[in-house]
């Protein structure tokens, strides 16, 4: 039996009994003098704060408050720290009305509990992290898998309900911990089966097998040939741009043909695609151009004697310019390593200059289930239709989201565009993410909203436990009116 002075928290299915002065298992709710309280401050975005301004506790601002209502267009109540709708029959914790440019608006604010969620991680690198579909592990537990690579980047899909709830208790706990840290901008160590170890942190360069990645590739080998052919013409006889996907050869490439570069008799290992483009020159790896090649000459067959000539100048370079080597053919048409001429140094530097800085991007992805939507309206499908028809704007901690087409409300958000530490967890395990729905007040009434729970923005301003955070100037302001029902028709 619980102690007499313990109170039961109903903010999630765990239903903790919390003694006075203690916190629940999620560290989000506590017992303060017999009252269940949300211990983290409730975050309010303020357009008036300058970019980079520090977080200011609300009580410090209150001392300077002159009694005037804070202008609605400059203040947005996020769901960070707001609390949840659990148990699911309850309306959302905050349903805030405000006037924007003469239009009555309402924002429904709640922290959603997401078991069906995960993150998509984009890692800017041409290095091979591991075979597609191989497991990605954290602390030895499977937390996701390698998915299809994109142009200049490797992609991971982490989390999901199977890893959170379908495996062992430890797998679920580690998966939840990994997602929470990634979404809150912390560094996470991952290991790909039969692949690389990588440290991932949103907005930071990846660290691959203990090496800090500096840049993503300028393009594939063929694209690099096309971009820099004019800069090489007349300074070198042949250029090979080594790439795991498409290795380019200057003399055979259409760019070289149009410039009048003569044939050199070069022969490349791998599968020839179109002229000057080769697939499968080597196995994927973390060396030259995302291959396993340490010596670029390993991808060359002997030159054709009838076409090649002694003294032929050959530049081999990777798609980032990180690896490069210069050779000249001897009397037996064998490549001999030479110092890179100054006339070619500029072009190699130009390749590096045209490479974007390597970064990690973390996108949180979740589905707003029927229970979460029930905190907005008694008829949840109407909210889904309103979002689909662009009458309702969805944000995540005030940040813009991408709504997937089709049924339900499945959204993605770039965590780096959200306020810090916007995510929490419950030990079921599941992630807790803020979500806000903003629409016209009349549209909210039409979809069956909880009109008797609507409260004015000014009514929450004097409350304790708030903090003001400057809104990112590159994010659209969530309170700008969305599409109208009239314009839809």
- pLDDT of residue 52 exceeding 90, the answer is no
413/419 Cα distance (integer angstroms): 12
pLDDT tens string 177-206: 999 999 999 999 999 999 999 999 999 999
Residue 274 tokens, joined: 């179109």
Mean pLDDT of 335-354: 95
Q: By three-state DSSP, how is residue 486 classified?
A: helix
| pLDDT-based confidence at residue 481 (cuts at 50, 70, 90) | low
**E strand spans, 379-429:** 393-396, 399-400, 402-403, 410-414, 424-426
pLDDT tens string 388-405: 999 999 999 999 999 999
| pLDDT-based confidence at residue 482 (cuts at 50, 70, 90) | low
pLDDT tens string 306-324: 999 999 999 999 999 999 9
| pLDDT score of 74 | 82
State the burial class of residue 307 (Cβ atoms within 10 Å of its Cβ: 0-12, 13-18, 19+).
Answer: middle
Can you tell me which residue has the tokens 């570069």? 261
315/224 Cα distance (integer angstroms): 13
| pLDDT-based confidence at residue 336 (cuts at 50, 70, 90) | very high
Which of 452 and 70 is assigned the larger pLDDT? 452
26/16 Cα distance (integer angstroms): 9
SS3 content of the chain, % helix, strand, coil (to 5): 20, 35, 45
**E strand spans, 197-301:** 197-200, 207-208, 211-212, 238-242, 247-249, 267-268, 271-272, 277-279, 300-301
Degrees (nearest 5) of the Cα angle 18, 21, 23?
50
User: What is the share, in percent, of the chain residues with pLDDT greater than 70?
Assistant: 91
165/171 Cα distance (integer angstroms): 8
């Amino acid at each position: 039996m619980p102690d007499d002075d313990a109170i039961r928290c109903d903010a999630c299915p765990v239903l903790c009994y919390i003694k006075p002065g203690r916190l629940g298992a999620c560290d989000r709710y506590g017992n303060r003098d017999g009252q269940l309280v949300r211990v983290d401050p409730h975050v309010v975005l303020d357009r008036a704060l300058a970019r980079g301004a520090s977080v200011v506790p609300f009580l410090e601002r209150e001392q300077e408050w002159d009694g005037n209502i804070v202008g609605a267009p400059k203040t947005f109540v996020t769901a960070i720290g707001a609390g949840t709708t659990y148990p699911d029959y309850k309306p959302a914790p905050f349903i805030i009305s405000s006037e924007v440019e003469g239009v009555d608006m309402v924002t429904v604010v709640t922290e959603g509990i997401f078991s069906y969620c995960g993150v998509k991680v984009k890692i800017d690198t041409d290095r091979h992290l591991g075979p597609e579909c191989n497991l990605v592990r954290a602390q030895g537990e499977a937390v996701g898998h390698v998915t299809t690579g994109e142009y200049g980047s490797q992609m991971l899909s982490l989390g999901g309900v199977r890893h959170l709830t379908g495996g062992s208790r430890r797998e679920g706990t580690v998966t939840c911990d990994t997602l929470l840290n990634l979404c809150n901008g912390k560094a996470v160590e991952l290991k790909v089966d039969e692949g690389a170890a990588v440290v991932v942190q949103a907005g930071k360069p990846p660290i691959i097998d203990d090496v800090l990645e500096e840049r993503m590739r300028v393009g594939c080998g063929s694209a690099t040939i096309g971009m820099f052919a004019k800069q090489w013409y007349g300074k070198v006889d042949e250029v090979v741009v080594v790439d795991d996907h498409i290795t380019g050869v200057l003399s055979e490439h259409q760019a070289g043909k149009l410039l009048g570069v003569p044939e050199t008799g070069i022969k490349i290992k791998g599968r020839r695609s179109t002229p000057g483009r080769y697939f499968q020159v080597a196995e994927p790896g973390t060396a030259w151009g995302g291959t396993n090649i340490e010596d670029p000459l390993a991808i060359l067959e002997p030159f054709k004697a009838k076409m090649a000539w002694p003294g032929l100048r050959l530049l081999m370079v990777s798609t980032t310019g990180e690896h490069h080597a210069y050779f000249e053919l001897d009397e037996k048409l064998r490549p001999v390593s030479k110092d890179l001429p100054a006339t070619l140094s500029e072009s190699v530097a130009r390749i590096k200059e045209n490479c974007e800085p390597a970064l990690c991007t973390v996108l949180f992805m979740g589905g707003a289930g029927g229970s979460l939507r029930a905190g907005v309206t008694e008829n949840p499908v109407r909210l889904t239709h309103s979002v689909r028809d662009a009458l309702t704007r969805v944000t995540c901690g005030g940040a813009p989201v991408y709504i997937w087409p089709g049924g339900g409300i499945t959204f993605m958000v770039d965590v780096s565009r959200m306020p810090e530490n916007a995510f929490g967890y419950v030990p079921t395990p599941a992630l807790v993410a803020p979500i806000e729905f903003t629409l016209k007040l009349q549209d909210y009434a039409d979809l069956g909203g909880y009109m008797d729970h609507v409260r004015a923005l000014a009514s929450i301003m004097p409350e304790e436990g708030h903090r003001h955070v400057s809104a990112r100037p590159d994010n659209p302001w969530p309170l700008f009116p969305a599409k109208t029902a009239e314009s839809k028709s």
